[in-house]
């Protein structure tokens, strides 16, 4: 049931009193980096003024605001800035959630290697871990499962909202607007510094996203909506809402259910990627979590981010046959054919550890459903790209999206639904990062600076006919 609580604006941020989420260990991010010990400093000589500055270095970083102290004698000089389009080398936060070493192909959630989590954990165990910093105990886990299970239903008006979309609406557009729309159903969620409100919003987003996703799938297919089945696990319930017809209880193929669980775990967080930065950036205005998370869904939709899994399949079907692969690779290299979708990563420069797991998973799925007809093309693309200097010299390797699309298609998901599956998986990461940002005393409203390149002041002279 929707909560018709206060629609009052959020309480002013009680930054110094904000309690960490239950179970959250004391984090390094609770305090600004200590003053650098003597010697841990960067000596900068400004050749414009011949002045020398000592900028403290802590945790391998300097504070960009320290650069502001470096000024010329020009009274209009507001101080030195760092210029970093697309944040290639700028840390925007201190985070204790996910660790990536892109050169070594390492990914860890709260210290646990992704390989071990994918092998042994459940998705909801990982969701708890990401938020709280430790694995749940049995009572914590049971309570968490109970809460998620009993918040899977959406308000009937949300169903009507989804029915208003055209039959050919992209499911990511439906998901994005529906997640944002939840803010209208739960106005008290705006009280983001109230721990109880934050907790229930997080539960609601984890519980209802699969329901909204499945409803959007059924809407496009023209099938009746299937309501959540509380007897099933998180993943089985999702598959039931997708595929159940007249049977009284849906029984998912266990290989598919486990594969989807692993894929959700692999996607659960990836530190400060485009969508997570969007969630943090929008959330930094202290808007409600549904609005902040919908910004993440929007960012994920893009073909350079989560939308790549969809584009991989479209690219493969355009290539059409293995014999066309060498020609296609040439068009990528010349720039005429666009990018090799599913290849390259901003952070991973040797291999994407998730892609390794997904490739193994694909083999297991293909044993059940037979080899995907496009797998041959994918393998040939991979083979040629991994031995071609264009790709190796740029450190372009298959990323997580290269094989996920083939798995999703083998499970009979339509191509434009792939990114929705990614969004369900990423939800716990967005939420953990959103909460970490809110409770981080160093964070403020996100507001980058710019290097102004426009015209200097000039007088207004209208080009319209005299009035």
Binding ligand ACO by CB under 6 A: which of 42, 304, 386, 412?
304
Binding ligand ACO by CB under 6 A: which of 332, 357, 375, 431?
332
Q: Is 401 a catalytic residue?
A: yes
Strand-pair partners of 51? 46
Nearer to ligand ACO, 296 or 344 (CB): 344
Gyration radius (Cα) of the chain, Å: 24
Binding ligand ACO by CB under 6 A: which of 341, 361, 362, 431?
341
The answer to whether 349 and 102 are in contact (CB under 8 A) is yes
Residue 61 interacts with ligand ACO (CB under 6 A): yes or no:
no
Residue 308 interacts with ligand ACO (CB under 6 A): yes or no:
yes
User: Taking the complex as a whole, how short is the minimal distance between the CB of residue 300 and ligand ACO, in angstroms?
Assistant: 8
What whole-number distance in Å separates Cα of residue 202 and Cα of residue 198? 6
Residue 265 interacts with ligand ACO (CB under 6 A): yes or no:
no
Q: Contacts for 55-63 with beta carbons within 8 Å, 24 or more apart?
A: 58/33, 58/34, 59/33, 59/94, 61/33, 61/91, 63/33
DSSP notation for 375-399: HHHHHHHHHHHHT-HHHHHTT--B-
Which residues within the stretch 408-467 sit at the binding site for ligand ACO (CB under 6 A)?
Answer: none
Cβ partners under 8 Å of residue 88, min gap 6:
none
Q: Where does this chain touch ligand ACO (CB under 6 A) — which range of 65-73, 168-176, 179-187, 336-344?
A: 336-344
Q: What is the largest CA-CA distance in the chain?
A: 80
Q: Where does this chain touch ligand ACO (CB under 6 A) — which range of 29-37, 250-258, 278-286, 301-309?
A: 301-309
Residue 277 interacts with ligand ACO (CB under 6 A): yes or no:
no
Binding ligand ACO by CB under 6 A: which of 15, 27, 339, 356?
339
308: Cα separation from own chain's centroid: 13
Catalytic residue among 288, 401, 416, 440: 401
Which two three-digit tokens encode residue 219? 């809407």
* Helix, strand, or coil (residue 343): strand
Binding ligand ACO by CB under 6 A: which of 361, 400, 411, 420?
400
Residue 394 interacts with ligand ACO (CB under 6 A): yes or no:
yes
Which residues within the stretch 363-392 sit at the binding site for ligand ACO (CB under 6 A)?
Answer: none
What whole-number distance in Å separates Cα of residue 45 and Cα of residue 27? 35
User: Taking the complex as a whole, how short is the minimal distance between the CB of residue 21 and ligand ACO, in angstroms?
Assistant: 26
Residue 114 interacts with ligand ACO (CB under 6 A): yes or no:
no
Q: Where does this chain touch ligand ACO (CB under 6 A) — which range of 48-56, 131-139, 164-172, 394-402?
A: 394-402
Cβ partners under 8 Å of residue 230, min gap 6:
149, 150, 152, 237
Nearer to ligand ACO, 105 or 306 (CB): 306
Q: Is 345 a catalytic residue?
A: yes
Q: Where does this chain touch ligand ACO (CB under 6 A) — which range of 125-133, 280-288, 300-308, 447-455?
A: 300-308
Residue 298 interacts with ligand ACO (CB under 6 A): yes or no:
no
DSSP class of 304: T
Cα dihedral 32, 34, 35, 40 in deg (nearest 10): -110
Nearer to ligand ACO, 314 or 339 (CB): 339
Which residue minimizes CB distance to ligand ACO? 344
Catalytic residue among 132, 219, 270, 305: 305
Residue 396 interacts with ligand ACO (CB under 6 A): yes or no:
yes
Q: Taking the CB of residue 408, how many other CB atoms lie within 10 A of it?
A: 25
DSSP class of 137: P
Residue 401 interacts with ligand ACO (CB under 6 A): yes or no:
yes
What whole-number distance in Å separates Cα of residue 254 and Cα of residue 417? 21
Cα dihedral 11, 14, 20, 25 in deg (nearest 10): 160
Nearer to ligand ACO, 218 or 270 (CB): 270
Binding ligand ACO by CB under 6 A: which of 14, 68, 104, 346?
346
Helical pair 195-221 and 171-185, crossing angle rounded to 10 deg: 140
Cα dihedral 144, 148, 151, 154 in deg (nearest 10): 160
| CA-wise closest residue to 431 among 202, 136, 151, 140 | 202
Strand-pair partners of 44? 53
Catalytic residue among 345, 352, 416, 440: 345
Binding ligand ACO by CB under 6 A: which of 171, 228, 296, 342?
342
For ligand ACO, the binding residues (CB under 6 A) are 304-306, 308, 332, 339-346, 394, 396, 399-401
The residues that are catalytic are 305, 345, 401
């Amino acid at each position: 049931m929707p909560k018709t609580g206060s629609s009052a604006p959020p309480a002013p941020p009680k930054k110094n009193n904000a309690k960490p989420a239950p179970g959250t260990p004391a984090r390094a991010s609770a305090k600004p980096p200590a003053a650098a010990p003597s010697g841990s400093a960067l000596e900068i000589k400004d050749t414009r003024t011949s002045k020398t500055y000592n900028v403290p270095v802590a945790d391998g970083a300097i504070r960009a605001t320290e650069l502001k102290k470096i000024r010329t004698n020009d009274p209009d000089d507001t101080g030195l800035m760092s210029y970093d389009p697309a944040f290639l080398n700028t840390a925007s936060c201190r985070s204790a959630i996910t660790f990536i070493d892109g050169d070594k192909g390492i990914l860890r959630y709260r210290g646990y290697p992704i390989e071990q989590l994918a092998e042994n954990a459940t998705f909801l165990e990982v969701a708890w871990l990401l938020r709280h910093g430790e694995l749940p105990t049995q009572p914590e886990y049971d309570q968490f499962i109970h809460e998620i299970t009993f918040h899977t239903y959406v308000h009937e008006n949300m169903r009507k909202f989804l029915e208003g979309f055209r039959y050919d609406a992209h499911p990511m557009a439906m998901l994005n607007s529906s997640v944002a729309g939840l803010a209208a159903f739960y106005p008290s969620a705006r009280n983001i510094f109230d721990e109880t409100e934050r907790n229930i919003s997080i539960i609601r987003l984890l519980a209802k996203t699969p329901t909204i996703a499945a409803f959007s799938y059924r809407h496009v297919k023209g099938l009746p909506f299937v309501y959540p089945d509380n007897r099933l696990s998180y993943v089985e319930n999702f598959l039931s809402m997708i595929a159940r017809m007249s049977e009284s209880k849906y029984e998912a193929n266990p290989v598919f259910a486990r594969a989807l669980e692993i894929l959700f775990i692999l996607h659960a967080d990836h530190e400060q990627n485009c969508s997570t930065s969007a969630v943090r950036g929008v959330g930094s205005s202290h808007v409600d979590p549904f609005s902040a998370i919908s910004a993440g869904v929007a960012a994920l939709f893009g073909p350079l981010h989560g939308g790549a899994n969809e584009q991989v399949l479209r690219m493969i079907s355009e290539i059409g046959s293995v014999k066309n692969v060498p020609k296609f690779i040439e068009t990528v290299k010349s720039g005429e054919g666009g990018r090799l979708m599913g290849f390259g990563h901003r952070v991973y420069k040797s291999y994407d550890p998730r892609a390794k797991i997904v490739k193994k998973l694909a083999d297991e799925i293909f044993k059940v459903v037979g080899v995907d007809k496009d797998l041959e093309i994918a393998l040939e693309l991979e083979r040629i790209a991994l031995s071609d200097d264009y790709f190796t010299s740029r450190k372009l390797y298959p990323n997580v999206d290269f094989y996920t699309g083939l798995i999703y298609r083998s499970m009979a998901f339509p191509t434009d639904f792939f990114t929705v599956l990614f969004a369900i998986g990423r939800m716990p990461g967005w939420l953990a990062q959103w909460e970490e940002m809110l409770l981080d005393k160093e964070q403020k409203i996100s507001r980058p600076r710019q290097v102004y390149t426009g015209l200097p002041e000039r007088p207004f002279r209208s080009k319209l006919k005299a009035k």
